[in-house]
Amino acid sequence: MARGTMSAMPVKHLLILGGTTEARELARRVSLMMEKKVRVTTSLAGRRPTTPSLAGEVRIGGFGGIEGMKTYIAENAVDVVIDATHPFADQISDHANAACAGVPVPRLQVMRPGWRMPPGATVLEVDGLDGGAAILPRVARRVFLTTGQGGLEAFSGLDDLWFLVRLMDAPKDPPPLTDFQLITGVPPFTIQGEQSLLTEHDIDTLVTKDSGGEGTEAKITAAAEAGVTIILIRRPAAEPGPLAETVDEAFAWVEDHV
């Protein structure tokens, strides 16, 4: 070896399936701490109007199903995959499981834990958005709906209820609801801010996915304190295979696999 040169270690390619705080933080940490060893690409579905700034490279848009993801992994020499998508984004997680097993490349799913409900909270757990919509007329009059843009259709037809709908971005089309007010907001939210919304709009029921995470937990605390009923949509099961709950665990797994 010539003096002053080092044999270059092959750089490993990490694909992070993103769209969450955990994905963003993992990309930041791996880019910072394994810069010479790992190239990071974060994949986003492209649902939001603007692309967030993330450490490493970013690709946007669907892969075209399981076969499309397999092709992407092969063509871009991806060595390891972290599925850090949202706990309710179950289609992309299913695809990641199948595609990574097919290539094969190692894959880890990151799924943060669901929320712990405060003592004394009135909580009705339901399966799916339809389950939430089915129970609402029996328990609610004025509803704070926080299930996201893709989840609004399930609540159409509930014409006797009033909805406060909160989305991250203003939608192209109005919500398919009869009586509502639309607000936009991006986490993190504060308990005080959530309390004000509940009071100002005389909310009696909160509908939320059991997304977990600190950024949106304030609504649960505020609802419990205000005696607002919480309709909690159960999360889909994790994929089979390795599972991490935190960015720390995911980072350790990456260290072991590159």
Count, residues in the chain: 258
CB 16, min distance to ligand NAP, A:
8
Helix (H, G, I), strand (E, B) or coil at 51: coil
Is 61 or 120 the residue whose CB approaches ligand NAP more closely? 61
CA distance 138 to 255: 51
One of 14, 27, 40, 44 touching ligand NAP (CB under 6 A)? 44
Tell me the torsion sign for CA atoms 28, 30, 34, 36. negative
The residue (of 65 and 176) whose beta carbon lies closer to ligand NAP is: 65
Buried-state track 30-44, b at ≥16 Cβ within 10 A, e below 16: bbeebeeebbbbbbb
Q: ω before 242 within 30° of 0 (cis)?
A: no
Q: How far is the CB of 72 from ligand NAP (least distance, A)?
A: 9
Binding of ligand NAP by 90 (CB under 6 A): yes
Pick the stretch among 56-64, 132-140, 158-166, 177-185 that binds ligand NAP (CB under 6 A).
Answer: 56-64
Instruction: Name 209's Cβ contacts closer than 8 Å, sequence gap at least 6.
Output: 87, 88, 146, 147, 148, 151, 232, 233, 235
Which of 215, 89, 199, 86 has its CA nearest to residue 144?
199
63 touching ligand NAP, by CB under 6 A: yes
Stretch that binds ligand NAP, among 31-39, 90-98, 124-132, 227-235 (CB under 6 A): 90-98
Name the residue with the smallest CB distance to ligand NAP.
Answer: 62
Q: Which stretch binds ligand NAP (CB under 6 A): 58-66, 158-166, 170-178, 248-256?
A: 58-66
Report if residue 82 touches ligand NAP, rule: CB under 6 A: no
Q: Find the binder of ligand NAP among 24, 39, 70, 86 (CB under 6 A).
A: 86
Residue 89 touches ligand NAP, criterion: CB under 6 A: yes
In contact, 104 and 127? CB cutoff 8 Å: no
Interface ranges with ligand NAP (CB under 6 A): 17-20, 43-45, 47, 62-65, 68-69, 85-86, 88-92, 95, 148, 150, 209
